[in-house]
Amino acid sequence: MTNYTNLLERDRDYVWHPYSATNSNQAIFPVQSAQGVRIKLADGRELIDGMSSWWSAIHGYNHPVMNQAISNQLGDMSHIMFGGLTHQPAVDLAELLVKITPPSLKKVFFVDSGSVAVEVAMKMAIQYWYAKDQPQKQKMLTISHGYHGDTFGAMSVSDPVNGMHSLFSDTLAQQFFADTPSCKFNQPCTDKDISSLQDQLENNHQHIAALILEPIVQGAGGMRFYSPDYLKQARKLCDQYNVLLILDEIATGFGRTGKLFACEHAAIEPDILCVGKALTGGYMTLAATLTTPAIAQTISEGEPGVFMHGPTFMANPLACSAGLASLNLLLNSPWQDRITQIQQLLSTGLEQCKDFPHVKEVRILGAIGVVELHQAVDMQTIQPQFVEAGVWVRPFNRLIYLMPPYIIDKDDLNFLINAVVSIISNIKD
């Protein structure tokens, strides 16, 4: 029995993977190492990564600058509690985040994951209105087909019908939902497009603490791209109806859409911003929720006089050091040119999928390429096909999509695209 086989057997015995059943025959592929844009499996095969490890490893794997940052920090301390203490990596990272995010955001609250960043944002909004003697503003408003995470607060603002959380519907807080914008990225937002959101705010603003949106790109809820004009009008409506605006940039932040943050496409600023995933270049779990001084001060001066949240591993020094290294790598690189090249190659390469009868739509924005099918894919069949083709692509439902590391070169990206197109062409209706 080879080590490879033994590892798979032990995995089946003891490990529960995400979005999986323990009694399924889901294909699992042991990884030995990863370097650049390549994942080396334990059986010796190499795969070109099209997923950036769920959109986080923007610099690829085993980057020497990232490795050195972690190593240097490890020599000082791997962790220290953040209650009553601070450290330079956290302060430096907070200062850099304030510098690169929209100007109105000046306060940074570090958390462990994207889902928790959303939970914190929602709690900030509710506690803000409570401090302003408006405790009735407890609800959230969002749009259909969104996804904000798998914890209970985040689930409550993810799509209640087509999302992954419908079986929890009787347990989750009941929120307000507006229709998904039908205006695409390069289209204006009409009165009809915005009317559902406007109606919800007009009728329920007295109960709504915040509107939460994934700006421009709805991620795991369907990979839809909508008009920046919709986002502009949403900001105006929030101001008109005295509702905070939370933007969830966990998937879109740090360059993925062609702007450093997706809200820049609409030239608007949120009241609260969530970032994560690519924040540490995929090295460590870390996220952050940013807000304005006015919101922070209102919460601090109201009852109970503190913000009611405090993760054990908040601002972990190793994670903050990774975040600093990752952001400096990004900001000091020609990332705009890289995203432009990725977008051009994705557009040219995936365009031919439009001619396949089983393909509904092809969408490209920045370093995101999406092929939407008419029917859901069979993961048991298609995942091994991608591996056999030498690429790592992880579809879900009807979506086969690419979000590669920014460092991918032209040859590797073309190889990745050609493999995807070939496999899609052979899918049977």
Q: Active-site positions?
A: 19, 147, 248, 277
Task: Identify the domain boundary among 315, 331, 347.
Answer: 331
Task: Say yes or no to pLDDT of 129 above 90.
Answer: yes
Residue 106 sits in the same domain as residue 119: yes
| C-beta separation of 154 from 327 below 8 A | no
CA distance 88 to 107: 16
Residue 190 sits in the same domain as residue 312: yes
Return the pLDDT at 170: 85
CATH (domain of 25): 3.90.1150.10
- The pLDDT tens digits for 58-68 are 999 999 999 99
Residues 6+ apart with CB under 8 A from 411: none
Residue 102 sits in the same domain as residue 245: yes
CATH (domain of 311): 3.40.640.10
Return the pLDDT at 163: 56
Q: What is the mean pLDDT of residues 364-390?
A: 96
Report the residue count for the chain: 429
Residue 179 sits in the same domain as residue 218: yes
- The pLDDT tens digits for 31-69 are 999 999 999 999 999 999 999 999 999 999 999 999 999
| C-beta separation of 321 from 69 below 8 A | yes
Q: What is the mean pLDDT of residues 253-279?
A: 98
Residue 198 sits in the same domain as residue 74: yes
Q: Which two tokens stand for residue 281?
A: 């270049």
- Cis omega (within 30 of 0) on the bond before 405? no
CA distance 362 to 166: 28
Query: What does the mean pLDDT of the chain come to?
Result: 96
Residue 232 sits in the same domain as residue 298: yes
Task: Say yes or no to pLDDT of 119 above 80.
Answer: yes
What's the total number of domains in the chain?
2
Residue 178's beta-bridge partner residues? 143
Task: Identify the domain boundary among 301, 331, 361.
Answer: 331
Return the pLDDT at 169: 80
Phi and psi based region of residue 393 (left: phi greater than 0; alpha: psi -120 to 50; beta: remaining):
beta
Strands (DSSP E) along 200-357, which ranges? 208-213, 217-218, 224-225, 244-248, 272-275, 287-291
| C-beta separation of 311 from 117 below 8 A | no
Q: Give the CA angle between residues 251, 150, 162 to the nearest 5°.
A: 85
Question: Domain span at residue 407?
Answer: 3-62+334-425
Q: What is the mean pLDDT of residues 403-426?
A: 98
| C-beta separation of 218 from 155 below 8 A | no
Helix (H) or strand (E) holding 381: helix 379-388
DSSP 131-151: HTT-TT--EEEEETT----SS
Residue 259 sits in the same domain as residue 399: no
- The CA distances from residue 156 to 146, 177, 202, 275, 315, in Å, are 10, 10, 21, 19, 26
Task: Identify the domain boundary among 285, 303, 331.
Answer: 331
With pLDDT > 90 as the criterion, what percentage of the chain qualifies? 92
Which of 169-173, 342-346, 376-380, 381-385 shows the lowest mean pLDDT across its residues? 169-173
Residue 341 sits in the same domain as residue 283: no
Return the pLDDT at 221: 86
Q: Which two tokens stand for residue 165?
A: 């959380």
Residue 278 sits in the same domain as residue 373: no
CA distance 65 to 338: 19
